[in-house]
Chain A
Amino acid sequence: MRSLPRIPLFAVGAAAALLLGWLVFPSFLYERIDQPLHFSHALHTSDSVGLSCSDCHGFDDEGRFAGIPVTRVCADCHEEMVTDSEFERRLVEDYVTADREIVWKIYARQPENVYFPHASHVVLAEIDCARCHGDHGASEALRPLERNRLSGYSRDIWGTSVSRFAASDSPRMKMGDCCACHRQSKVTTGCLDCHR
């Protein structure tokens, strides 16, 4: 019997933990949920179609954000097929004609105890949508929602970088990010401005 060759076991353990922690853990932590329908923001905001964010994600008469567009908004253009796309056919047949709502998976849904007024941020402060939501308008397809198995929150809340060290300019929507932006903009807030 002889002992193991002198393997640096401490280093092996540390390397294994780093590997699991940085690569395996994030993919295990988030479950991927596909969107119910393919949608290309890039196509709709391209010159050929020419829509802007607010054409579909508008504000109501009282300045409140109207949220994810309902099927009726899609039906304004897609009452009937305008292309020969398979995705459009599904939209028209399964949703517009059937008068069903599309259950979109929302990347930016905040917890129940948070109130976020889009009107004061987008209309009054003139903050670009991409500041928090990223460059959605350029996406060719809707990516799957990455839902945290423990908290139930979308990955977009934490941010794409699991460490939150890198890509500091990438959109993220935790309370600390809101506070940092408010500090930067010299806008003071109290707890109850955002929390119910």
Chain B
Amino acid sequence: MSTRVSRRDVLKLMSGVAVGTLFTPVPWKLLDDLAIRTQNEGWIAHPRRGKLGFVPTHCSLCPAGCALNLRCVGNVPVSLSAIPTHTMGAGKPCPYGLVLHHFAGHPDRLRGAQVLDAARGGLQAEAQWERQLQRWLKEAMARGGAQSVAVLDPNPGRALSSCYRAFLGSLGGGRYLVPPSQESLLRELSRAAGLPEGTQLAYELSNCRTLLSFSAPVLEGWGTPGRVLPRLRSVESQGASERARLIQASPIPNVSARLADHWYRIRPGSEAAFALGVARVLLDRGWYDSSPASREILTRETELLSLISDTSLDAVSLATGVSQEELERSAWRLSHEGPSLVVQGDPSSGVAADASVSRMVFLLNVLLGATRSQGTLKTKASLPLPHCLRSHGAVAATSLESIPDASLQLLLIDGSRLSSALPMAQIRRKMEPQGRIVALTPYAGKLARACDLVLPTSAPLEGWDEVEAACDLALPRFALARPVFDTKAEYIDPVQLLQRLSPDPKFLSALGPKPSYEKLLRDQSDALYELDEGRVIEPWTEDGKASRASSSSAQWEALLRGAEWYGEGMSWKSMEGPALIGADAAQTLRRSMERARTRALVPARFEQLCVLPLGSGVGSTGEPVPPLLAKLCRESTLLSRAGTIYLNPQTARVMGLRSGQRVQFEGPWGAETARVQLSERVEPSSLVAATSLASGVFGDEVRS
């Protein structure tokens, strides 16, 4: 007897096997196990095993300075968590802070000094960097004097900043420059208020109930997020009535605008006009602060007040695109739902770099009583100089935009930590054609590629760093971020570098034969201890009580353990006495109003677009971010992408551009190449560019 197995029989059997297999654990178990196997193969790096330990420290990426607890295996940080009892960070670090321990291992980490090779278009190793730098410094001094040598410090207010200023003083008067930032705006406000030169101001949000923000990214890492965000957003933890209301007047649809309680989409460049309209309503209705100090200011500002009273709300409405009713409603909220505060964003947030905005912001703050003793705008005491710098004359800070074009021969940029993009186009304008730019940075990123010489500094957790107070903190603050990695990576100590470059043989000699950043910080801590007004807080303790250290050594030890020093009693006072907004304020404001009105009246021409820089924060700087976040940064709509411009689809259609296309656009600052992204949120007359492309070029018209 023989049997015949047909093809149909085989197929039936195999089908049965296939269907039966689907109802067994084989498919998903194999899938799971094979996935795990591929993750654990030998060629994939594994975290080492070892004794677990915890190191308290601070994140130094931004002035928020969140207190962190690093989880280390041996001396390698493997993860971290934020300390919830920390007053500033509130246990909620930003995504960058959460991967702070990944920065040091970035593939683009610089391993030695590099020079820009223009011919090859890249960075080449430079062994003789110190000799070359000394030569450039001598040449610059010989050609343009000390004034042609400058240091650009994006993080002023540190002990290292004092060291830069003393170094420039030792050259005979170099320039200490700060890029546009909240600190430079506050300095501008201080100047507008007629306060003595060098007086620092700070916003105080703790008792603010209504915040009017001109494009400041207040919900996107502005100031100290741990203090600002709960005040503006935490409805769950506080009663809705206790939460401060946010009124955002901004031409850019950024996250803060979309999350604000009220968003007025003003025309680009019409911030001063909007402020003027609100001031007009406050004055007309008598809704302003009637304290003697405010009245004193107002009696001096006759020209400004007459301009305000001569400008009709119709004209303001035309210039800003905001109706009269909305202007009146904003003024009512600010005056009746106070204490109120008015803040402005820096040029990287899309606000015109226009002195009239600062002056109108200050005037509004005066009218709203923000400068009174319980107000929301405070003067702020600065940290005392470290002992080692007291015998050296330090130069004053100057804003980058205020120095003449083509006036710098040698510029040293401290790019060790960039929390917002540098206005490279503006920087290039300030350099002489033969001028040299030297950067201190840990990475071969966008900054490094724009400089003639790049010197590697330590990445986060590799070297010493410090945390300064943010713009929303009137108390002086000092906290350390000490090295945690036992790294053998070669990086340059900035203090040693300055000592070697200084022509003064006694410069920093007080720190001993081999000065270092660590010694400078220790010296700063000792100077703080002598103040008698400082208190040390250990953030990880539940009560968070402040106490005075028993000795300077005990204070230093506490700081090393992650404690923070606050200058209690040094400040926390409001501005007193009469202040002068500025004699030229009316003229500046008049010009600003004219510009805004012209923009509103003249129909937009598509070949000439108004550039609005967008975004701040580490992600917009063009510097490398840890691989874990790279995907998030590329795909997230929350972060502006370096190298991207945003256009209205209507604009793009007229110009014949499509999404994803690479275009070159140029303006007075030079040409940039970027990828086009279409967005209905962008006004047809505007071009929104990530800050690393166009920071500091607001209002420049662009031809694309």
A interface residue numbers (CB < 8 A to B): 1-4, 9-18, 20-22, 25-26, 29, 64, 111-113, 115, 148, 150-153, 158, 162-164, 190, 192-193, 195-196
Instruction: With both chains docked as a complex, state the minimum distance between the C-beta of A151 and any C-beta of chain B, in angstroms.
Output: 4
Beyond A13-B16, A29-B29, 5 additional pairs, beta carbon < 8 A: A4-B5, A13-B18, A25-B26, A192-B81, A195-B79
* CB of B120 within 8 Å of the partner chain: no
* CB of B23 within 8 Å of the partner chain: yes
Instruction: With both chains docked as a complex, state the minimum distance between the C-beta of A135 and any C-beta of chain B, in angstroms.
Output: 25
Judge whether A20 and B24 touch: CB under 8 Å: yes
A10 to B15 alpha-carbon distance, docked (Å): 6
Chain B contacts of A195 at CB under 8 A? 79
Judge whether B24 and A25 touch: CB under 8 Å: yes
The chain A residue with its CB closest to the CB of B98 is A192
A22 to B151 alpha-carbon distance, docked (Å): 71
A152 to B4 alpha-carbon distance, docked (Å): 45
Judge whether B21 and A4 touch: CB under 8 Å: no
Select B20's contact among A21, A148, A163, A192, beta carbons within 8 Å.
A21
Instruction: With both chains docked as a complex, state the minimum distance between the C-beta of A150 and any C-beta of chain B, in angstroms.
Output: 4
A selection of 22 A-B contacts at a CB cut-off of 8 Å is A2-B2, A3-B3, A4-B3, A9-B13, A9-B16, A10-B13, A11-B16, A13-B13, A13-B14, A16-B16, A16-B17, A17-B23, A17-B24, A20-B24, A21-B21, A25-B26, A115-B79, A150-B30, A151-B37, A158-B32, A192-B81, A193-B81
Select B34's contact among A11, A17, A150, beta carbons within 8 Å.
A150
Instruction: With both chains docked as a complex, state the minimum distance between the C-beta of B146 and any C-beta of chain A, in angstroms.
Output: 48
Instruction: With both chains docked as a complex, state the minimum distance between the C-beta of B575 and any C-beta of chain A, in angstroms.
Output: 42
* CB of B105 within 8 Å of the partner chain: no
Select B29's contact among A162, A193, A196, beta carbons within 8 Å.
A162
Judge whether B3 and A192 touch: CB under 8 Å: no
Instruction: With both chains docked as a complex, state the minimum distance between the C-beta of B41 and any C-beta of chain A, in angstroms.
Output: 10
The chain A residue with its CB closest to the CB of B33 is A150
A153 to B2 alpha-carbon distance, docked (Å): 50
A15 to B338 alpha-carbon distance, docked (Å): 77
Instruction: With both chains docked as a complex, state the minimum distance between the C-beta of B27 and any C-beta of chain A, in angstroms.
Output: 9
A155 to B427 alpha-carbon distance, docked (Å): 61
A112 with B46: in contact, given A21-B25, A151-B40 (CB under 8 Å)?
yes
Select A2's contact among B1, B14, B30, B99, beta carbons within 8 Å.
B1
The chain A residue with its CB closest to the CB of B30 is A150
Judge whether A1 and B47 touch: CB under 8 Å: no
Instruction: With both chains docked as a complex, state the minimum distance between the C-beta of B44 and any C-beta of chain A, in angstroms.
Output: 10
Judge whether B17 and A196 touch: CB under 8 Å: no
Chain B contacts of A11 at CB under 8 A? 16
Judge whether B46 and A113 touch: CB under 8 Å: yes
Judge whether A196 and B78 touch: CB under 8 Å: yes
A190 with B98: in contact, given A15-B20, A150-B34, A151-B36 (CB under 8 Å)?
yes
Judge whether A1 and B37 touch: CB under 8 Å: no
Judge whether A113 and B47 touch: CB under 8 Å: yes
Instruction: With both chains docked as a complex, state the minimum distance between the C-beta of A5 and any C-beta of chain B, in angstroms.
Output: 9
* CB of B265 within 8 Å of the partner chain: no
Chain B contacts of A164 at CB under 8 A? 25
Instruction: With both chains docked as a complex, state the minimum distance between the C-beta of B333 and any C-beta of chain A, in angstroms.
Output: 35
Chain B contacts of A29 at CB under 8 A? 29, 33
* CB of B402 within 8 Å of the partner chain: no
Instruction: With both chains docked as a complex, state the minimum distance between the C-beta of A191 and any C-beta of chain B, in angstroms.
Output: 9
The chain B residue with its CB closest to the CB of A21 is B24
Select A17's contact among B3, B9, B20, B79, beta carbons within 8 Å.
B20
A20 to B23 alpha-carbon distance, docked (Å): 11
Select A13's contact among B4, B17, B36, B39, beta carbons within 8 Å.
B17
Chain A contacts of B98 at CB under 8 A? 190, 192
A150 to B23 alpha-carbon distance, docked (Å): 21
Judge whether B24 and A14 touch: CB under 8 Å: no
* CB of B6 within 8 Å of the partner chain: yes
Of listed B1, B17, B19, residue having the most chain A CB within 10 A: B17
A87 to B512 alpha-carbon distance, docked (Å): 66
* CB of B663 within 8 Å of the partner chain: no
Judge whether A196 and B47 touch: CB under 8 Å: yes
A112 with B47: in contact, given A14-B17, A22-B24, A150-B37 (CB under 8 Å)?
yes
Instruction: With both chains docked as a complex, state the minimum distance between the C-beta of B484 and any C-beta of chain A, in angstroms.
Output: 15
Chain A contacts of B16 at CB under 8 A? 9-17
Instruction: With both chains docked as a complex, state the minimum distance between the C-beta of A19 and any C-beta of chain B, in angstroms.
Output: 8
* CB of B12 within 8 Å of the partner chain: yes
Of listed B25, B34, B46, residue having the most chain A CB within 10 A: B25
A163 to B32 alpha-carbon distance, docked (Å): 12
Instruction: With both chains docked as a complex, state the minimum distance between the C-beta of A102 and any C-beta of chain B, in angstroms.
Output: 19
* CB of B631 within 8 Å of the partner chain: no
Chain A contacts of B36 at CB under 8 A? 111, 150-153
Of listed A1, A15, A16, A112, residue having the most chain B CB within 10 A: A112
A1 with B25: in contact, given A10-B16, A12-B13, A150-B33 (CB under 8 Å)?
no
A22 to B29 alpha-carbon distance, docked (Å): 11
Chain B contacts of A193 at CB under 8 A? 79, 81
Chain A contacts of B71 at CB under 8 A? 115, 196
Chain B contacts of A163 at CB under 8 A? 25
A164 to B29 alpha-carbon distance, docked (Å): 10
